[in-house]
Copies of this chain bind each other. A is one copy, B any other.
Amino acid sequence: MSYKLKQLAELLDLTVQGDENVVINSVASVESAQQGDICFVSNAKYMHALRETNASAVIIKQDMLENTHVAALVVDNPRATYARIVDLLYPQQLPVAGIHPTASIHASAKVSDSASIGANVVVDANAEIADEAVIEAGCVIGRNSQIGKSTHLYPNVTVYYGCSIGEQCILHSSSVVGSDGFGFEFDKTEWLKISQVGGVRIGNKVEIGACSVVDRGALNDTVIEEGVKLDNHVQIAHNVHVGAHTVMSRGVGVAGSTKIGKNCIIGGMAGIRDNIEITDNVMITAMTIVSKSLKKPGSYSSTTPIDETKSWRKNSVRFRQLDSMAKRIRQLEKQINNKG
C-alpha cells in the first residue's frame, strides 16, 4: 500500500510538520530507512540517527522535532502511531468469508455467514462462531464453545467443549484452550483423576501464543480478562484468574487457582505457584520463581547472575554453605565484640 503523508495523518487524526505530500509505502528503522519509508523515534539515543536518516518521514514527539529535517508526524506515543501505520501499509490478508467444503460443521452449530471457516475445521454440536471470526485450517472447536466476533484462530488450534472466547482475540497455532486441569488424588495404590467440569472464559482482545495452553477449571471456570497478552509456550492452569491487560512472556507457567492482578508484566519462563495472589501492577523478571503472594505493586526477581562456568562452579558450591557462613560471621562478630 502507498499513502501520501497527509493521508496517513487524516486517517489517524494527526498533524504533519513539513512536506505533507511525501509518499510513504513502507516502514523501516531510523537507521535503515530509505526514500518511501516512514520510521519512528521515541528515544533520545536515536537523535543522531534521526538527524542523518534517509526516511521520507518520521514519527516523533514534539521535543524531538528540532532534530529532524524530514517530514514528521508529531505525536505523544510514536511507537503506538507506528503500530497503526504498519496496519495501514501492510493490511492483513484475511481469508474470505464462508465455509471450506472439507470443514465438518455439526448440524446444531451456529456459524455466522461472515465468518471464515478453513479446510478440515471441525465445529462440534451447539458451538457458535460469531461474525467475521476466522477459523483457519485444522482447528477444532468443541461442543457448546463460543468464538467471539472478529476473533482469529490460526491453523491447528484446539478449543475443547464448553469454553468461551471473546471478540477480537488471536490464538496462534498449536495452542490449546480447555484441556483438563491437572487434578488427581492418590487413593491407596494409584492416582484417581478428578474430572475437571469447569470451563474457560476468555475476554475480548486477548492474544494467546503458539503452543500455549489454558486449562479448564475443576469446578468453576478458568478466567482470562480482556486485553491479556500471552506469548508462546505459556501455561494457565485450572481456576487461574488473570486480570485485564496483564502480559506474560514466553514460557511462563501459572499453577492452579492463582489470581493475578491487572496490568502485570510477567517475564519469560517465570514460574508462579498455585493458590497465591498477585496484586495489580506487579512486574516479575524473567525466570523468577514466585513462591508466595505479592501484595505490593513493584518489581520482583529471584535468579542468580550468569558467570563463566569455571568461576560459577566455585561460587555455586558455596551456596550449600550459606547458612554455615552466616553463622560463622555471627560468631566472629561476637568474638570481636567480646574482645573489643
Contacts and interface: CB of A to CB of B under 8 A. Distances in A.
Interface of A: 27-29, 77, 79-80, 82-84, 86-87, 90, 92-93, 100, 102, 104, 118-120, 122, 136-138, 140, 142-143, 154-156, 158, 160-161, 170, 172-176, 179-180, 182, 184-187, 189-195, 197, 205, 207, 209-213, 215, 219, 227, 229, 231-233, 235, 237, 245, 247, 249-251, 253, 255, 268-269, 271, 273, 283, 285-292, 298-323, 325-326, 328-329, 332-333, 335-336, 339-340
Contact of A300 (B154, B289, B309): B309
Nearest to A263: B186
A318 B326 contact: yes
A209 B175 CA distance: 12
B90 A195 contact: yes
B102 A229 contact: no
12 contacts: A87-B195, A90-B195, A90-B197, A120-B120, A120-B138, A138-B138, A174-B175, A189-B245, A268-B271, A315-B323, A319-B319, A335-B340
A77 B307 CA distance: 32
B289 A303 contact: yes
Among A176, A193, A304, max chain B CB count under 10 A is at A304
A323 B325 CA distance: 11
Contacts of A82: 185, 194
A320 B329 contact: no
Contacts of A319: 304-305, 315, 319, 322
A235 B232 contact: yes
A88 to B, nearest CB: 10
Contacts of A194: 79, 82-83, 86
A231 B237 CA distance: 10
A119 B109 CA distance: 15
A298 B309 contact: yes
Contact of A303 (B160, B212, B215, B316): B316
A185 to B, nearest CB: 4
Given A120-B122, A304-B316, A307-B302, A253 B269 contact: yes
Contacts of A313: 301
Contact of A304 (B211, B303, B306): B303
A322 to B, nearest CB: 4
A188 to B, nearest CB: 8
B300 A302 contact: no
Contact of A306 (B158, B213, B291, B306): B291
A119 B100 CA distance: 14
Contacts of A197: 27, 86, 90
A198 B29 CA distance: 13
A255 B245 contact: no
Among A79, A205, A287, max chain B CB count under 10 A is at A287
